[in-house]
Amino acid sequence: MLEKVQLKKKFDTGKFDHRASVLKQVLWYFCSALFFRSGLIPFSVVLVALLRLFGAKIGRDVRIKPYIHIKFPWKLTLGDHSWLAECFIENLDDVSIGANCCVSQGAMLMTGNHDYKSKNFDLLTQPIILEDGVWIGARAIVCPGVTCKSHAVLSMASVAHHDLEAYSIYQGAPAVKVRERVVG
């Protein structure tokens, strides 16, 4: 006989580590709601300073746009000259974004999912890496465990389930390589 999924209000997160105290998580929740997701503070320099205050490792001359969602800033690394638009970073695991990267409007970086084979719907997490020069297009999705290699492009509304090759442009759901990226 086949087993059935048993969803519970408090499911088992296994070895998941928030890497922050409950107080820090609560303070971030309110800071994020008030200053990031509300759009109340449109100044990138203020948003960058707040992210650093909560443990994000951020390089020089970074642009953070209002209305952004970042789950845990202490699990975020962002290189020099990168831009984060109004995007959704659900970083239950580490997210590393290199230098000169762009994550466009409505894009999602999802480091977590659930094990559909488990009757308890266990939490699974894997890091995401965007190497230097990567562009994640508007409404595109990067799934857990994906590495987007140097200067790869994930075009608008595409879904990356697997690693993207360097200097390549990907499109579709699931994303497939459509051509080489030539930077001039």
Give the closest residue to 152 by CA, choosing from 139, 172, 173, 171.
171
**What's the predicted TM-score (pTM) here?**
0.96
The per-residue pLDDT for 93 is 98
Q: For residue 33, what are its two tokens? A: 């709601």
pLDDT above 90 covers what percent of the chain?
86
Q: For residue 157, what are its two tokens? A: 């509304």
Between 3 and 103, the higher pLDDT residue: 103
Which pLDDT tens digit goes with each residue over 75-127?
999 999 999 999 999 999 999 999 999 999 999 999 999 988 888 888 999 99
Examine the pLDDT at 11 and tell me if it is beyond 80: no
Give the closest residue to 130 by CA, choosing from 109, 157, 156, 116.
109
Type of residue found at 16: F
CB 38: neighbour CB atoms within 10 A? 11
Which pLDDT tens digit goes with each residue over 168-181?
999 999 999 999 99
Q: Name residue, tokens 């580590």.
A: 17
Examine the pLDDT at 56 and tell me if it is beyond 90: yes
The per-residue pLDDT for 126 is 98
Give the closest residue to 181 by CA, choosing from 164, 163, 166.
166
Provide the mean pLDDT of the chain: 96
Q: Report how far residue 22's alpha carbon sits from residue 15's, in angstroms, rounded to the nearest whole number.
A: 17
